[in-house]
Amino acid sequence: MEDGQRMYSQQGGLTNMSGNVLPQYNMGQDEPSDQRKQEIGDILQQIMTITDQSLDEAQARKHTLNCHRMKPALFSVLCEIKEKTVLSIRNSQEEEPPDPQLMRLDNMLIAEGVAGPEKGGGSSAAANATAAASGGQPDSAIEHSDYRAKLAQIRQIYHTELEKYEQSDGSEIKNSDYEAKLAQIRQVYQTEYGKYEQACNEFTTHVVNLLREQSRTRPIAPKEIERMVTIIRKKFAAIEMQLKQSTCEAVMILRSRFLDARRKRRNFSKQATELLNEYFYSHLSNPYPSEEAKEELARKCGITVSQVSNWFGNKRIRYKKNITKAQEEANVYAAKSAAAHEGQGAAGYNVGGGQAGMYMNLNGGDNYQSSDNSVGDNVQNQITPHPRSQNGSPHDQKPDDSTDSWCAGAFMQGLDGEGDNYDGSSDEPGLKRPKI
DNA sequence: TTCCATGATTCTAA
DNA sequence: TTAGAATCATGGAA
């Protein structure tokens, strides 16, 4: 106050809010105290009457004040005083490092593909968030009804989706579903984030303009406006944080459900298992379906190509491990196929729509009665490893009916006395070795 | 509740 | 990248 007092005393009187020239107020010690009290009382009295004045009168006095020759100097001093007192205290509180929580959320959203760098992470978002709503109302930004409604909407969407999956008895979430849901999250997030940024910018602009306007009638330094923008930005950061938290939560729930669904085993339908087994046993000497055959099987079975691959992988290894049981199963499928194609000669099951299966020509099909173990005897002792284990990488292998029999070369020869279906020259996709 | 069958996952080798 | 092998985890029958 010392500087301010000096200004007053040196310039000799100001126009008060009522337009009257105020008596020179001198803090000097040479005036009688009664006189000073009287002058102060006059000033206060005039200030108190301001509220009773009309707008026109106030406007007129505002204009008078703005034009007063001492105004710039007075405001400068007052701004300086504010800077040294209140603002310096705030300043120490504002220089904080970036919020680590917000950074983690940003990282996750970027990693999940919900928020790209172009959308701005925490830092850029904060920079863009030249602020918004609360404007001095403690934490009221979070209470902004529109944003709360939108955040609730995000939650609602995914709770609804979760209920759907639960009601569908845990049916699997396919990759396409996951991606679609993730895209939906991204869309909602980006929409809301855009609105958030817009609101921040609009509100900040509004506040800045307001402060600039007010700076004509009260001492507001540019630095103070900057600080106000920072404060507003912080208030809006709470909204940003909540939006990102909700989005992360939705992504985590979706991912969790997706992984659970993948992990959860579901038996294939009986029909699907039948189709796979038929293919397997009809291509027993080379049970490596091509990509085309896998796709065809997947389509027919209502499963994915990966599941077909898994199935054949498991089937091959388990066939070898328990050849006796597998052989019995082979007999069953052979008998089925024989019955299905009775009177048509050799016509094994073939998903790829190509050549006939191998076991139809053996002894006229008589050997495939379940009581007949002749086939089993053939199978049991003639398992050969996959050519890769004999000759190196399967990448170099070509199907070979005599030396490249997958598991039971002699058995297959016996089954398919007229030549096999596994000739590398075959054009049938289902009979080729899998693409390596 | 136990046991087996089976789909899925992971690791290694080629 | 694929197959083999081992293993995990779950469904379903007994």
Over range A122-134, report the average pLDDT.
Answer: 35
CA distance A307 to A294: 9
Which residue(s) pair with A383 in the sheet?
A408
The pLDDT assigned to A150 comes to 64
**Does residue A175 have a pLDDT over 70?**
no
Share above pLDDT 90 across residues of chain A, in percent, rounded to a whole number: 1
What residues have CB less than 8 Å from A330, skipping those under 6 apart? A281, A284, A359, A375, A379
C-beta within 7 A of nucleic chain B, residues 253-272 of A: 262-263, 265-268
CA distance A296 to A293: 5
Nearest CA to A408 among A371, A430, A377?
Answer: A377
Q: Which residue is nearest to nucleotide C6 (CA to C1')?
A: A317
Which nucleotide across the nucleic acid strands is nearest to A317, CA versus C1'? C4
Which amino acid appears at position A430 of this protein? G
Residues A255-290: tens digit of each pLDDT: 666 666 555 667 888 888 888 988 888 888 888 988
Which nucleotide across the nucleic acid strands is nearest to A313, CA versus C1'? C3
Which nucleotide across the nucleic acid strands is nearest to A388, CA versus C1'? B14
> How is residue A133 annotated by DSSP?
S
Structure tokens at A167: 């009601």
Q: Which of A42-46, A119-123, A218-222, A318-322 has the lowest mean pLDDT?
A: A119-123
pTM: 0.41
Residues A51-73: tens digit of each pLDDT: 666 777 767 776 776 777 777 77
Q: Which residue is nearest to nucleotide C4 (CA to C1')?
A: A317
A318 touches strand B (CB under 7 A): yes
Phi-psi region of A40 (alpha: psi -120 to 50; beta: other; left: phi over 0): alpha
Nearest CA to A98 among A235, A201, A237, A242?
Answer: A237
CA distance A357 to A360: 7
Q: How far is CA A246 from CA A132, A158, A159, A163, A164, in A?
A: 20, 11, 12, 18, 20
C-beta within 7 A of nucleic chain C, residues 141-200 of A: 170
Q: How many CB atoms lie within 10 A of CB A264?
A: 10
CA distance A262 to A172: 7
In Å, what is the separation between the CA of A173 and the C1' of C14? 32
What does the radius of gyration of chain A's CA atoms come to, in whole angstroms? 42
Residues A178-226: tens digit of each pLDDT: 667 777 888 888 888 888 888 889 999 998 888 888 887 777 878 888 8
A394 touches strand C (CB under 7 A): yes
**Does residue A417 have a pLDDT over 70?**
no
Q: What is the DSSP string of A368-425?
A: GSTT--HHHHHHHT-B---HHHHHS-GGG----TTT--SSBHHHHHHHTTT--S--TT
3-state SS, residue A337: helix
Identify the residue whose tokens are 């290894």.
A317
Burial of A319 (0-12, 13-18, 19+ CB in 10 A): buried
Q: How far is CA A295 from CA A29, A147, A204, A306, A384, in A?
A: 102, 47, 57, 9, 27
Q: Angle at Cα A116 formed by Cα A184 and Cα A252, nearest 5°?
A: 50
More confident residue, A341 or A24: A341
A386 touches strand C (CB under 7 A): yes
Q: Which residue is nearest to nucleotide C2 (CA to C1')?
A: A436
What residues have CB less than 8 Å from A233, skipping those under 6 apart? A126, A129, A130, A131, A200, A204
**Does residue A246 have a pLDDT over 60?**
yes
In Å, what is the separation between the CA of A308 and the C1' of B12? 22
A267 touches strand C (CB under 7 A): yes
In Å, what is the separation between the CA of A311 and the C1' of B7? 7
A314 touches strand B (CB under 7 A): yes
A388 touches strand B (CB under 7 A): yes
Q: Which nucleotides of C are covered by protein (CB under 7 A)?
A: 1-7, 9-12
Over range A341-363, report the average pLDDT.
Answer: 40
Structure tokens at A275: 């189709």
Over range A89-99, report the average pLDDT.
Answer: 60
Phi-psi region of A290 (alpha: psi -120 to 50; beta: other; left: phi over 0): beta
Task: Report the range out of A16-20, A60-64, A93-97 with the highest average pLDDT.
Answer: A60-64
What residues have CB less than 8 Å from A184, skipping those under 6 apart? A157
Q: How many CB atoms lie within 10 A of CB A63?
A: 11
Nearest CA to A225 among A53, A23, A50, A87?
Answer: A87
Structure tokens at A404: 């490249």
Q: Which domains are present in chain A? A: 2-84 (no CATH), 100-263 (no CATH), 270-431 (1.10.10.60)
Q: How far is CA A185 from CA A9, A181, A233, A247, A295, in A?
A: 66, 6, 25, 7, 31
